[in-house]
Structure 1
Amino acid sequence: MTPIVIKTIQFFLSLSLLIVLHELGHFIPAKLFKTRVEKFYLFFDIKFSLFKKKIGETVYGIGWLPLGGYVKISGMIDESMDKEQMKEEPKPWEFRSKPAWQRLIIMLGGVTVNFILAVVIFIGLVFTYGEEYIANESLKDGIWVTDTTLGNELGIQTGDKFLTIDGEEVEALSQIMPGLLLGNQFTVERNGKIVEKQVPVNVIETLSNNKEKSRALISYRWPFVISQIPKDSPNINSGLQKGDALVRMDGKEVVYKDEVAPILEANKGNKIPVTVMRNGKPVDLTVSVTDKGVLGVVIGMSPEQYKEEGYLEIRTLTYSFWESIPAGWNKGVKVLTDYIKGMKKIFNPDTGAYKEVGGFAAIGGMFPDTWNWPAFWQTTAFISIILAFMNILPIPALDGGHVMFLLYEMVTGRKPSDKFLEYAQMIGFFILIALLLFANGNDLYKWLFK
């Protein structure tokens, strides 16, 4: 199967699971409080259904429009806009006849299930696979900023040792880029001095406009250790060997690829002296630099070699079942907190983050292009958090809109009129359509013009 087909299958599998469980979050408390549920649908069934079957008082079905799902609860003003039912006298089994606290639990059920599901997935992931990361403190010579121009715009340099982002200690290399995207300030050690920097307000826009360069902008520094000399290399007969570690080039001491690159650039087409370490001993050689400023060799080490040579430390955290529960919970809370930070950036026009809002294509693109269960579940948990947050927003037609009106009723003792709720539902529906068009329009624009 092609990558796009694999992504599509994962997207629909994940979306279907999340929708069904979200709607179960409404369905179960509704049934517990003896509230009639007329429909339980995966996807929307405008005009017709792909499948439907009535069991008891509820019709279970699959619609043809994959924009979500719903449960139709008797006596509730929802997306069905069933005005005729609302004109009749309230029945004991209807939503509107139940106490406000029961209606509140029913409406909060969906987002609660989404968040709990994400936590359960995270618990399963950390229990099964643990957590592996490159320890930030083990990068004794700091990070490698792969694009100098872009790094300067963000205020970071090769060799920086990240200490904190927004006052929180940076423990893993993988924390740095998300931290810069969502944070406001950071502290690094640079040339032996502590430097405090503000994250540029338009950091998301800057990285978005330079996607290719920003994908691997921050990395650990690669020691210049030869792993392969191709047969067509200009240095096949120079005396270089697999495993040689470059320590001096053109009279300058070097260790890392980022230190070697400018020397090669300055010596295009020339032969220059180098010193390599081989089996613990220095060996002097002369090498050829191509017109493109390369040696024509492959460099790299295995993670184990990096660790053995002291360039970095890969830490693996393992959890017992009981330890995985708080770890999964903390991860769920962290993802939700980070997402809220991201939403704040989106609503600030100065950040340009609104340009990165995406629809179904963007969500589908989050899945790996090969089948990978850990990555699938990680992505599903993240989307579940998104659904929980988006649904609790105080927009009429979303769960959060219903919750907002219920809280108003509980505080004031006055229930909004059915007519008001109908108008609010319509306004909320148009707001959602506008957001949907904007998000998916962004996807289309990027596909056509970027």
Structure 2
Amino acid sequence: MSAREANFDGLVGLTHNYSGLSFGNVASQNNAASVANPRAAARQGLRKMKALADLGFLQGVLPPQERPSARFLRAQGFTGTDHEMIMRAAKEAPAILAAASSASSMWVANAATVSPSADTPDGRVHFTPASLSSKLHRAIEAPTTGRVLRAVFAGDSHFAFHEPLIGAPAMGDEGAANHTRFCSDYGEAGVEFFVYGRSEFGGGVAPQRYPARQTLEASAAIARLHGLGENATVFAQQHPDVIDAGVFHNDVIAVGNRDLLFCHQNAFLNQPAVYEEIRAKLAARGAQLRVVEVPVAAVPVEDAVSSYLFNSQLLTRADGKTVLVVPQECRDNPRVSAYLDQLTASRGPIDEVLVFDLRESMRNGGGPACLRLRVVLSDAEQAAVNPQVWINDARFAQLDSWIERHYRDRLVDADLADPSLLDECRTALDELTRILALGSVYDFQLVN
């Protein structure tokens, strides 16, 4: 079956700020209370999308969510008009208001886990929105995420949607950030690789400093929901030591594409056995796993975390060559930059490195891979996607102009108490729904 991989990037929201809400995410914590620039953040992400589209990659965009979330604030007992509610929350519970105002939905690697039709028994692309139950500011995203996915991927004949897993610690699910798919070609049946941080019921080792957000039980449930058999799945545990070093998702320490795995030497527990299981199952599907393992001597874990070397995108060009998309921080780190030079000079599986300025997102702990959701689509499935979400010259110009009209160029924690921020967000999203033909994905509760 002919198929291509599409990357759908999240558009940074109007309330992009540095509230330091994500315990375990070193960048988020280190940059708490810094001054953010939402306009620059959105433009940095949009320019990455346009650059990759110009290079011939299939590139789409997913919208931000309403923030601050009035529905969430009302569920916490705040009453009155929308403006009164925000001012009361700012006075009585600023941490709750910060959670309600987070623009974290921009990191759509956490939006859902996706299995392509080549892997599923019913021949449809399966989506399970992530519950993101480990963090309050992210746990409120799933309902809108589900509506957005249905508005973008239209039609039950091609796409199947599941409900998020129950929001309990035992079923902690963080979406595609802990999921990779290996295959010979995108349209061929593959092996889906699920990485977890701990097991709720199976015991074993676990990180001691920072929480493990993904459980084995959640990964196994998603595999069952998508109809994936034992021969099509590999479950591996992330090394607890790297979680304690700030590797809160697998995509901060490993990335894969087709038959290639690019990872750190200390990414997984029992790493050689993980390689062997993937190799054996992938070989049964006609492909041979290639591994580029970065030794700790070349790139220590702390450098991998600060540079986000592995929170990169591995992309296959039309000519079959492999491109690694990394943030500017990789070039700013001498050890990582030297390793990248060695990598491309070695004439190995990775042919080219592309560097992007994503500093606004990076300061909150999200790099190129965090900003995208990967979806493999056959020709018919691609034709069924809402055409307004594809990035091209016209869509880029529309979105760039939209950002200029609606986004602030400065935002600090104190600004979250400004009720007009909600009005600005709603006005902007109302226009965006028309640009992207999203229908009624936003569930605004207007109380004035």
Q: TM-score, length-normalised on structure 2?
A: 0.21
Where is the helix percentage greater, Structure 1 or Structure 2?
1
Higher relative contact order (CA 8 A, sep 6+): 2
